[in-house]
């Protein structure tokens, strides 16, 4: 599978520079300092993390959960509540954690939201029974 190119900020090492003090003297610094250039970016290939061992997460079917992360929070929670009552909380929480893990490096906002929803689902249900949040932990 071809990996996407990421846009990253360009930085450079500033090795030595001069700075005027309040009394007009010029002070010279020689230590290395890493700086970001404002507005400059470049495209680099996404290297991701090296894989370790077998791939444990199977490929997910698009739209298997029936939600889109563009929808409002109330709509998503109501859809997930119906799914969890039908299929069980472990299955739904597992799918959400898989989405979270697979998007961790490429789409961090979706990753965080999926992890929060997985925590909500696992805390609100016991099997296929809704018990309210956070009573499901005990």
pTM to 2 decimal places: 0.57
Residue with the larger pLDDT of the pair 128 and 1: 128
Q: Report which DSSP code applies to 136.
A: G
Which element (helix H / strand E) includes 97? Answer: helix 89-102
Which element (helix H / strand E) includes 13? Answer: strand 5-14
Query: Per residue in 74-85, pLDDT tens?
Result: 999 999 999 988
Give the chain's end-to-end CA distance (angstroms, integer).
42
Task: Tell me the pairing of strands 17-20 and 5-14.
Answer: unpaired
Query: Per residue in 46-90, pLDDT tens?
Result: 666 666 666 677 777 888 888 999 999 999 999 999 998 888 888
Residue 19 to residue 32: CA distance in whole angstroms: 15
Residue 75 to residue 71: CA distance in whole angstroms: 7
Query: Per residue in 4-28, pLDDT tens?
Result: 777 777 777 777 778 888 898 888 8
Residue with the larger pLDDT of the pair 122 and 33: 122
């Amino acid at each position: 599978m071809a990996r996407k190119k990421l846009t990253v900020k360009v930085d450079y090492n500033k090795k030595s520079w001069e700075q005027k003090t309040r009394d007009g003297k010029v002070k010279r610094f020689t230590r290395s300092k890493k700086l970001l250039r404002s507005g400059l970016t470049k495209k680099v290939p996404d290297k991701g993390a090296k894989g370790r061992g077998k791939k444990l997460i199977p490929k997910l079917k698009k739209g298997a959960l029936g939600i889109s992360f563009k929808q409002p929070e109330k709509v998503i929670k109501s859809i997930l509540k119906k799914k969890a009552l039908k299929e069980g909380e472990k299955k739904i929480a597992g799918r959400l954690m898989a989405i979270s893990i697979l998007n961790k490096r490429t789409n961090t906002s979706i990753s965080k939201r999926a992890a929060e929803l997985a925590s909500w689902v696992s805390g609100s249900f016991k099997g296929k029974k809704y018990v309210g949040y956070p009573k499901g932990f005990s």
